[in-house]
Structure 1
Amino acid sequence: MKLLLGTLVMLAGGLLTGTARADTTCTTSAPVTAAFGNITNAAGSPTVTTTSFTITCNTTALSLLATASVRACIGIGVGTTGVAISPLRRMTNASGDPVSFQLFTNAAYTNIWGLTPGTTPGPLVVDLNYSVPLLTGGSGAVTVTIYGRIPAGQTLAAGNYSTSFSGADVRLQYAFNEVLLGTATAPAACTTTAGVAGNKTATGGFPFTVTATVLPQCSAYVTTDMDFGSNAGAITSNIDRTSTIGLTCLNRTAYNIALDNGLYANGTVRRMRHTTNSAYFIPYELYRESTRTQRWGSTANVDRVTGTGTGSAQVLTVYGRAPPTSGPVAAGSYSDQIKVTITY
């Protein structure tokens, strides 16, 4: 019995003073896309989004009362289309137009999420403490949230925007301590290498993408009337006049403009009607260019006028022609009304 008790005391003493000899490995899940959704040019308020992921640390079995402590730095870089972390990151559309945004470690959007420990802005620092049972080993997990914000008041171009974070842009560095009995002391920093059980760095573990969409937009429509003037008797030669259609579309907004055949067309021939005698008409036509050979109509991909917005006002010219008439023309005023349809 004495021998047995002695052995137990010696074993207990070993638990108190023994050095932990196990491995700790931390991994991360992949966040879902941080999607800002549809954002507005010159928005009056910021647009925000979030995404989250989990860091999990596993330590192999040590002893009945063992614990592990991990201090991890989770870093995020500039992204595939970025040039700097601070003051603002950026994503771009297919034409290279930028949208500025930022990623934060807190819901108050005050702490910018950086990449490298010891720099400003720095990475997110998290601590994990957990038991490491003898038979099964132990693990700890923490879920972290990325807070994204697009500042208000940006002048934007239409398009789908994105930037991706992977490889060296998503870095996990961690130091860990393990003890056979009691509570493990947290490492002083994730970069600490001396006096700790281990230190590791992993890249590419939590790749994710940030996206946003700026919808096409047109506004500020202005049209002018086309006045063919006065003519005495029959029209013996072409009367050419112009009018304009003005619009302002967001940069990169593709649009097309259709003109219908008016109120009094005969088939596809546009006509002005006498204002007091509905039996009289004067034919005319509208064209897309000054030579007046390309009719301006309403069929997509055939005779509409297409364009791309610049963010500034654009003015398009409508070219009209009243051709010579056959026979006399009744005196009086003639008019028609054209419906303009702008699609973007």
Structure 2
Amino acid sequence: MAGGRSADRPLPCPRRATRAAGHDDHGAADMPLRRLPMTACLLALAACWSGAAHALTTCSATMTHLTFGPVDPLGGLVDTTATINYQCTYSSGLLGNLYGVYARLCMSIGTGAQGSGVQPRQMISGSGDAMMFQIYRDATRTQVWGSVDTPGTPPLQRDLQFTILGVGTTQTGTATVYGRVPAGQTGLGVGAYSNSFSGIHTRLSFRYNEALLSLGTFPTDCGNANNGSFAFTASASVAPACTVSATTQDFGAVSGLLRAAQDATSTVSLRCTYRAPWQVGLGLGQNAAGTARRMTGPGGLIDYELYRDLGRTQRWGTTLNVDTVTGTGTGATQSLTVYGRVPAQTPRTAGTYTDTIVVTVTY
């Protein structure tokens, strides 16, 4: 679209006077014609042509989508980039080739349709969760990309120049858009996030100066006109994820006679993405006989069992939706108690008895 224009005003064109040699209407003697110096003629002619250039400079821009891909709320930051392609075309009559054009473009990015501010910007999921992110003008991601309407967060500015004989040509350029999703957003839920930057949420503003023989300068600013847009979408996704750890279940010192049951507890800790359903299963161990867990030591094997409840009636296994513990992630650490029991059984030789259990989280 056309932007603001400033150019030299045309000067009046001199008209050439003629008279016949050897003739005077008033009987006066013949007089020689006076000639203007060549330099003055050229300047006068150029001044005449300036008014006939009828130049027009149009500019436009497009942008690729800002795609972050998978984001792990329990992990680190995620960076990505996009590209803006911009161009200006100089159109004029033949005399326009005597002029150069100096175009200054500003590309503004607002809050987006799903945003509520620029610092920070946000993407929204189908569940209404907000993911904070930011758009920057520099690779170090310190200069927030803003708008001509927000002096504290300016837009990206670029210049394009046309020299003489540039009528009908197009000048192009590219700029990198730098995006970042910061770490520490542990409350992000599972889902697809996006923010649409279209319509009023992006704006191309530009102004240009036309200068005879390209003896000019760029405008001091881009103005704030809406000369076009460069729609794009910022997007990211959050997939279910979990981390897990467990403490040792220590039954302590037990009489070798094993005449009474011995109980103990331990803890499984997991941290899963918000809204991610999970199930925790406990394996049979390394010495099991069928479904019976056993510890091994100097005197052979000692039977024991692990349960999901304090009453030790609900065995803890690995069959999903049957003998596992289920829940939903909160983004924070969740702790589960493992209830263990060594039942009364025949005496064993004194010593240390152990087993290893694999904890499995399905999400």
Shift of 1:122: 1.8
Match of 1:196 in 2: none
1:24 to 46, 51, 57: 57
1:314 aligned onto 2:334: yes
1:276 aligned onto 2:299: yes
Change (3 A) 1:117 1:311: closer
After superposition, the C-alpha distances for 1:57-113 in whole angstroms (9 at most, x for unaligned) are: 123343233433322210111234433213x33345565555544322233444321
The 2-side partners of 1:240 and 1:40 are apart by 41
Match of 1:50 in 2: 81
Change (3 A) 1:309 1:240: farther
1:339 aligned onto 2:351: no
SS in structure 2 opposite 1:223? coil
The 2-side partners of 1:90 and 1:145 are apart by 20
Instruction: Report the AA paired with residue 228 of structure 2.
Output: A
SS in structure 1 opposite 2:247? strand
Shift of 1:301: 4.7
Give the alignment of 1:67-86 within 5 angstroms. 67-86=100-119
Q: Which moved more, 1:56-65 or 1:330-339?
A: 330-339
1:298 to 312, 318, 326: 318
Per the normalisation by structure 1, the TM-score is 0.70
How many residues in Structure 1 have an aligned counterpart in Structure 2?
Answer: 316
Shift of 1:125: 1.9
Larger Rg: 2
Instruction: Report the AA paired with residue 346 of structure 2.
Output: A
After superposition, the C-alpha distances for 1:97-153 in whole angstroms (9 at most, x for unaligned) are: 55544322233444321123463212112222124858x61211121122334556x
Change (3 A) 1:97 1:221: farther
Match of 2:4 in 1: none
The 1-side partners of 2:339 and 2:253 are apart by 11
Q: Which moved more, 1:110-119 or 1:264-273?
A: 264-273
Match of 1:245 in 2: 267
The 2-side partners of 1:144 and 1:70 are apart by 16
1:65 aligned onto 2:65: no
The 1-side partners of 2:299 and 2:318 are apart by 29
User: Contact between 1:20 and 1:179, CA under 8 Å: does it hold in 2?
Assistant: no
User: Contact between 1:66 and 1:179, CA under 8 Å: does it hold in 2?
Assistant: yes
The 1-side partners of 2:203 and 2:141 are apart by 21
Match of 1:195 in 2: none
Q: CA-atom RMSD, angstroms?
A: 4.3
Match of 2:30 in 1: none
SS in structure 1 opposite 2:63? coil
User: Contact between 1:228 and 1:240, CA under 8 Å: does it hold in 2?
Assistant: no
SS in structure 2 opposite 1:122? coil
Match of 2:19 in 1: none
The 1-side partners of 2:233 and 2:256 are apart by 70
Give the alignment of 1:1-344 within 5 angstroms. 12-13=45-46, 16-35=49-68, 41=74, 48-63=79-94, 64-86=97-119, 88-91=120-123, 98-117=130-149, 119-131=151-163, 133=165, 137-150=168-181, 154-157=184-187, 162-167=193-198, 168-178=200-210, 182-183=214-215, 185-191=217-223, 200-203=226-229, 205-211=230-236, 216-225=241-250, 241=263, 243-249=265-271, 251-252=273-274, 255-271=278-294, 276-277=299-300, 282=303, 285-290=305-310, 294-320=314-340, 329-332=345-348, 337-343=355-361
The 2-side partners of 1:166 and 1:218 are apart by 35
For structure 2, the 5+ residue unaligned runs are 1-15, 17-40
User: Contact between 1:255 and 1:307, CA under 8 Å: does it hold in 2?
Assistant: yes
The 2-side partners of 1:256 and 1:13 are apart by 83
User: Contact between 2:306 and 2:338, CA under 8 Å: does it hold in 1?
Assistant: yes
The 1-side partners of 2:150 and 2:123 are apart by 26
Change (3 A) 1:60 1:148: same
The 2-side partners of 1:183 and 1:300 are apart by 78
Per the normalisation by structure 2, the TM-score is 0.67
Change (3 A) 1:271 1:169: same
Instruction: Report the AA paired with residue 276 of structure 1.
Output: G
For structure 1, the 5+ residue unaligned runs are 3-7, 193-198
The 2-side partners of 1:200 and 1:62 are apart by 26
Instruction: Report the AA paired with residue 156 of structure 1.
Output: T
